[in-house]
Structure 1
């Protein structure tokens, strides 16, 4: 039999067939022995073949079809392993909040780089705009200017107040859409605003740590009444980049890609080389400081962290 994985709980995979029937499936042991570096050899969005067990209700996955794309990050607990968030995605929405909790530019850029590498279009959703004070609005405006100029669509929304939810729904119609972002940015609230019948669980932000609590434990794909599917993912604290060659990384920054042909050396890494078009672009504000900082972090293999001095509104 054949179907799409719509939920992964680590041990069991819920597979939906074309007829709409759901089967809980396990994976064959050999998948764990074939050199797969991922902590989850099967991910939500995968098209799989499976055999039904004697009870005719549960099954065993025997084949994973080739993926058109996927979003992957470094495993949280196993640094040399990867974690595939979801596969076969038509587009992704990255939810960003300025505070309550803050989304770092480092996190945004790492997600965009990973999506760019696997040809997944991304729209940035600035959520909770109804609660922004003057300083937060200035920060949002600066970030929106940076990412819009690069070519990313940015939409200001409020999941609670229903601001521009119809616009988001129109973009999702007929597509497989991934929702991602830090814990507490309002993914589950937004999904409920888009498709109220799903009634996903939501939790308040932790005041003590100003961080969101995990309301989604495992990635899950939901059908949409207006056509298409949504993949809701667990909140992500960090986004570790994996499996990228150094020479390719600058190509995943669209504004770098436009300029790097002007560098003096064809193999310029844009770090310490003379007459580097990227560094010249940084000096004359064609390249945002936060974007260059993210690039250097990734090139040097540093873990994601936050620079307040480049994440403040221009005066």
Structure 2
């Protein structure tokens, strides 16, 4: 039998059959997926083959095959630095939820996520949430970020799950697709899913006033069928986003604005740091490339995974200013 993984708890997997039934399944032995050193060989969104096992009081399943994935998105494992954790697979669109100060989402985090999505061929839309809470300085910061990413070519939405602003436009982009919501804890992923589909009643928590950080409400990634012909994968909040399996020479290719110019560099293997006649550095000096983006590139290039989450947007901006000098 064949089905789709809707929930993963690490040991048990909820699989939806082609007939619409949900079966609790386990893995049959260990899966070794070619080319992937992952802490979780089966992820939400996977298409799997399984066999039913009946006992006196219940019916469960055993997964024995994972179908080839059209894509997947990964991050560095929290505890195992040389392995990756597959967040979800077979995704049409990722909606990365961004909040300016409640909690802060830094450009460095955004860029790391976008680079990984580019590398695995997944469309990403930036969703600036909680616009109902903005004062004038916060609005300026949000519009500045939106300007940067729209100029690069990324789609951006401004929403308020609390006041249902931008919800209809978001729904339009999700119809007929498998979408994933991602972002830090507290950016409002579960609240936004509830705004899209109030009958789900997903658990939500308020932001910690002491740390201005979110509290985990989603423990495991889980897919939901929505009433408007869409499916959404809600994921646990991500503190940081470590980059995995990228050679230094290929990183700039996942920055679309760098990729357009890199052939104009004097050297084919230009890393856009100290090399002469670098097209990216020339564009940077003309403010044709955002300094925050270049700063993120340098951090990824240098393997700065220990500090990939800063405490505030201002710290990322300060680092960009220092780089510019």
The structure 1 segments of at least 4 consecutive aligned residues displaced by more than 3 Å after TM superposition are: 32-36
Matched, 1:25 2:31: no
Show CA shifts across 1:187-221 (max 9, x none).
00000000111110000111111100001000000
How far off its partner does 1:119 sit?
Answer: 1.2
Select the residue among 300, 314, 318 that pairs with 1:308: 314
Hey, what does 1:178 align to over in structure 2?
Answer: 180
**What's the counterpart of residue 158 of structure 1?**
160
What residue in structure 1 maps to residue 50 of structure 2? 50
Q: How does 1:55-66 map to 2 (within 5 A)?
A: 55=55, 57-66=59-68
In structure 1, how many angstroms separate the alpha carbons of the residues matched to 2:317 and 2:89?
32
Do structure 1's residue 291 and structure 2's residue 293 form an aligned pair? yes
CA contact (8 A) 1:39 1:83 kept: yes
Stretch moving more, 38-47 or 268-277: 268-277
Question: By how many angstroms is 1:234 displaced?
Answer: 0.3
C-alpha displacement of 1:271: 1.3
Using the TM superposition, give the Cα deviation of residue 173 of structure 1 relative to its aligned residue in structure 2, in angstroms.
0.4
Q: Does 1:192 align with 2:194?
A: yes
Does the 8 Å CA contact 1:117/1:252 hold for their aligned counterparts?
yes
What displacement does 1:37 show?
1.5
- Structure 2 distance, partners of 1:21, 1:110, is 37
- Measured in 1, the distance between the counterparts of 2:282 and 2:90 equals 38
Query: Superposed, which structure 2 residues align to 1:86-235 within 5 Å?
Result: 86-235=88-237
SS of 1:73 mapped into structure 2: strand
TM-score normalised by structure 1 residue count:
0.96
Do the aligned partners of 1:289 and 1:310 also contact (CA within 8 Å) in 2?
Answer: no
Q: Which runs of 5+ in 2 are unaligned?
A: none
DSSP 3-state at the match of 2:292: helix
- Does the CA contact (< 8 Å) of 2:108 and 2:316 recur in 1? no
Kept in 2, the 8 Å contact 1:157–1:164? The answer is yes
User: What is the count of residue pairs matched by the alignment?
Assistant: 314
8 Å CA contact retained: 1:206, 1:212: yes
State TM-score, norm by structure 2.
Answer: 0.93
Shift of 1:94: 0.4
Which secondary structure does the structure 2 equivalent of 1:290 belong to? Answer: helix
Provide the C-alpha distance between the structure 1 equivalents of 2:137 and 2:59, rounded to a whole number of angstroms.
55
Q: What is the CA deviation profile of residues 98-142 of structure 1, one whole-angstrom value per residue up to 9, with x for unaligned ones?
A: 001000111100111111111111110100111101111111011
1:12 aligns with 2:12: yes
> Unpaired segments of 5 or more residues in structure 1?
none
Alignment-derived partner of residue 250 in structure 2: 248
Distance in 2 separating the partners of 1:73 and 1:262: 31
1:309 is displaced (CA, Å) by 5.4
Deviations 1:57-107 (A, max 9, x none): 111110000000001000011111110000000011000000010001111
Q: Secondary structure at the match of 2:51?
A: strand
- Asked whether the 8 Å contact 2:44–2:87 carries over to 1, the reply is yes
Distance 1:20 1:214 in 2: 30
- Counterparts of 1:22 and 1:62, CA distance in 2: 17
Distance 1:163 1:16 in 2: 32
